[in-house]
Structure 1
């Protein structure tokens, strides 16, 4: 009996290595798949019948291929084991079908237990299918212990049915005493081995999928920074190197819709990057948008005599359903390009297409943000221009030389403005030049209205800051801080760095700001008599657009007099824009 079990277990092991068998076992079954399972496990039962051991009047016959039994003989075999496993894995329909197939065949062999053995086989199949279905409905797997318990119980049921239906009873009782315990134990042992094989196969598949998923996540994590740069020679070379390292491919290439951007690994001596696409296989994918698989050197369409590439899978890269390039994975042996590699390549192509779409979306967002910042900057130009022209127009009547000097200052100022309008960040020294030009204009017009003091830490002149964030603060202090003061107003500008942050502080000894206005300053446009109230709002919006939450503007004011506005911008140890903030700004 152990020998017969060994035959079935060997067949089970061989089947477990067949991918289609593994796929059928692990998922919900369609009608065609159920028919296949019925044939498979029914065949197990039929083979068990043919290879069973004939028992004749307490005598165990020599093992041979049985085609017919003596009317007074019985059969000891592993038939129930195959039917039970089929029912547990495939459900009542598979159990019934396999039971009928094996049971009818057993009945055709004859012997005094033919009816009882046939009925027990059919009942075993249906019962195993029912119990397996109920267990799955409860969300539980078919465990080895559960399967062994069901198998041994249904084998014991067969012994009971032999006692009930087989005649004469004395002969049936004698048969059960001889084969009962061995068959129950051996069929249980066979079920144990069979289930071990099935579960081991399924665990291997789970581990393989987990490893593949982990690899895909690694590839996604390592390639995303390069996809953010778009499809270019540098980024594609880095991506191809990562792919070559983490997959089974012998060569990896990426193209756009016209040129090979990168090719690493086998064949890189003649599949040279930064050249026009040379293979018809790639052109076909670009034109049709479908995955192409080549299993021979001829199918790759590479005409280089010594090309080592003999198999390839080429996949389209898409952005918004438009083909923008291809991903190509090459193999030096066609056997390496199996279904797993094809599925992996298809998954990576979809992943890369998604990453390219995200990169494009980030680029568009950055362009929109840049446009918004430029628009905010443009609003400041007329605001200052009108004030300056009014000042010069007054001086033209009283002092032409001063007016001429102010026009030169205004020219210098707007030269700096033109440079600033083309850049999101300028050196601090350029912003200070603009402030000096502005204050010269204002002090010429109102010589006794205010005085200004600078206090700047050395070494900060080259620090990059957004243009037009200091001059509007000085302008606000002059216009709103002391509009009708009999005494000279004082404006103090302090610029320093501290704890990896760059600080600009503008304070005055003016009249202060009312509490009801303080609540909205910098958060929205606040109407005013002398302008459109956009200065502080513009500065806050530009700081937010460039630095996200890393920079901020704060306002402190007292009703009895004095206002202080502080701007804080992050720096690194070298006194330049912090790298973390750069990544936020650049996308």
Structure 2
């Protein structure tokens, strides 16, 4: 029995060696990870059937409880039995592939065992199939949870499956006495070694897959971190500056020899080996890159010839070229270069494909943000263009009357009217203007208004001295001052005071326009600036328009706020971030 135990250990070692080799082959890993697929089941069936048949061929022949031969067994002698690891292979196949794989391997392995015995001992066909079904049902329960049995659980199942086999041997091996002697001779080493072999087999598989998952987790973490760091640059689009920074980040995280990025016609960045001749601003020089730009398909080169670089001293010997797309159109390429072609593995190919998808999404997102910003700018400029000089005809009538009485003053007013309209035109084309330009606009408006109603309004400006370069939306102060003049005082002709105050804070500027007028009724105070309010002197859209522009530019924190003054009148308050003209 001891000799048989040692010899069986050698056979178990052979099966375990095959298992170790298989789980370190990428192709087999893919089959294991996708064991639920029908194609994977057939492939697993073929692999484990081969294992089981090898077990039959390498078994130990036994006659009358004596070891007869250890040669390669193609055909057994009459009345001979065989101790082998067939049950181990069938049991593991079921635990990994489920009942379909288990019964398939069991039938084929049992059939081979019957043929090997010269057509006798048909019970091996049924016992092997039964082992395959039982182990497959157990494996299926774990597969539904996307798990494998633990090595301890597998060892117990392996021992149980061998006991099933021993039961068939005991029942169908001649007489009761013959069956008992054979089972007593082979049962202990076969049950023990089958259990140990199943334990080791599952240990190899589960530990290898666990390492694979850990590697993927680390890789996923790195990819997510990489994506987070490249996103701000991809938002800028494919420019030399953004691509240079992106290439540095990708090279740092992927540890490839070089990273290159192109648009549809030229190299935008190249970081790493080969940077002496793969120079930004040169045209896309390799046929490989041109093919990717044309087809939109990822391409792999595993030699210098396939890369197509014309420089004889180029160190780059392998490459992955990934298309970068936006709105289903190829807009550029990302190239990962290797100086050692053996480092271009399936893992790198998968990583490259994933990065291509992420970066293409980021480019599309960046383009969408740019388009959104352009649309928002267009909307804001459209709103600005609606700020019409509704007092135009009144101003012209005033100038016409002054031409007969005071031609010099009429000339000055014409110049102020020109300044006013020039500011309107410029404001309709710009999103932000300097404070000095806005104050000239307000001054021109007040000059025209004061000419119609001399000394009726007093407007005082209180502005911190270091705000001359402040940028603010066009017509901001002009609309607030005009609104106060038109609506704050009713028909009152004297003591109409307006104060415009700009106070610099840490990161913002507080803008306040207050008057000492008649105030606003509570029902209107809740609606003003949020919707158009009809009045006798206008449509009420100016403040609503201004509020929309402020929120569009700076967010809700910069919207208009209206308050009733305790002493009478209204205060309009808002804050805008400090942006200065460069």
With structure 1 as the length reference, what TM-score do the two structures score? 0.91
| 1:408-446: CA deviation from partner (whole Å, max 9, x where unpaired) | 222333444444444322222322232223223222322
Residue 341 (structure 1) aligned with residue 348 (structure 2): yes
- Select 2:396's aligned residue among 389, 395, 399: 389
1:47: Cα distance to partner? 2.0
Equivalent-residue separation in structure 1 for 2:227 and 2:145 (angstroms): 37
Partner of 1:484: 491
Partner of 1:403: 410
Residues 347-358 of structure 1 aligned to structure 2 (within 5 Å): 347-358=354-365
Change over 3 Å in CA distance of 1:141–1:383 after alignment to 2:
farther
Residue 150 (structure 1) aligned with residue 195 (structure 2): no
1:14: Cα distance to partner? 0.8
Deviates more, 1:553-562 or 1:316-325: 553-562
1:261: Cα distance to partner? 1.3
Partner of 1:123: 130
Partner of 2:507: 500
Equivalent-residue separation in structure 2 for 1:482 and 1:428 (angstroms): 27
- Select 2:309's aligned residue among 297, 302, 309: 302
1:249 counterpart SS class: coil
Equivalent-residue separation in structure 2 for 1:414 and 1:6 (angstroms): 94
Partner of 2:252: 245
| 1:493-539: CA deviation from partner (whole Å, max 9, x where unpaired) | 22112353211111111111123322321122222332332221121
Equivalent-residue separation in structure 2 for 1:382 and 1:445 (angstroms): 15
Residue 553 (structure 1) aligned with residue 539 (structure 2): no
Partner of 2:140: 133
Equivalent-residue separation in structure 1 for 2:110 and 2:302 (angstroms): 47
Given that 1:505 and 1:565 are in contact with CA atoms closer than 8 Å, whether structure 2 keeps it comes out as yes
Deviates more, 1:276-285 or 1:7-16: 276-285
Deviates more, 1:535-544 or 1:144-153: 144-153
Partner of 2:207: 200
1:60: Cα distance to partner? 4.1
Partner of 1:316: 323
Residue 331 (structure 1) aligned with residue 338 (structure 2): yes
| 1:297-349: CA deviation from partner (whole Å, max 9, x where unpaired) | 22222211211122222232222222222222222222222332223222222
Equivalent-residue separation in structure 2 for 1:550 and 1:556 (angstroms): 17
Given that 2:34 and 2:40 are in contact with CA atoms closer than 8 Å, whether structure 1 keeps it comes out as no
Partner of 1:449: 456
Partner of 2:45: 38
Given that 1:152 and 1:187 are in contact with CA atoms closer than 8 Å, whether structure 2 keeps it comes out as yes
Query: Once superposed, what is the RMSD of the aligned Cα atoms?
Result: 2.6
Given that 1:223 and 1:242 are in contact with CA atoms closer than 8 Å, whether structure 2 keeps it comes out as yes
Change over 3 Å in CA distance of 1:181–1:111 after alignment to 2:
farther
- Select 2:220's aligned residue among 203, 213, 231: 213
Residues 45-56 of structure 1 aligned to structure 2 (within 5 Å): 45-56=52-63
Unaligned segments of structure 2, at least 5 residues: 1-7
Change over 3 Å in CA distance of 1:236–1:387 after alignment to 2:
farther
Instruction: Report how many aligned residue pairs link the two structures.
Output: 575
Residue 518 (structure 1) aligned with residue 535 (structure 2): no
Residue 20 (structure 1) aligned with residue 33 (structure 2): no
1:213 counterpart SS class: helix
Given that 1:16 and 1:22 are in contact with CA atoms closer than 8 Å, whether structure 2 keeps it comes out as yes
Partner of 2:536: 529
Partner of 1:376: 383
Partner of 1:163: 170
Partner of 1:566: 573
Change over 3 Å in CA distance of 1:369–1:17 after alignment to 2:
same
Equivalent-residue separation in structure 2 for 1:197 and 1:43 (angstroms): 19
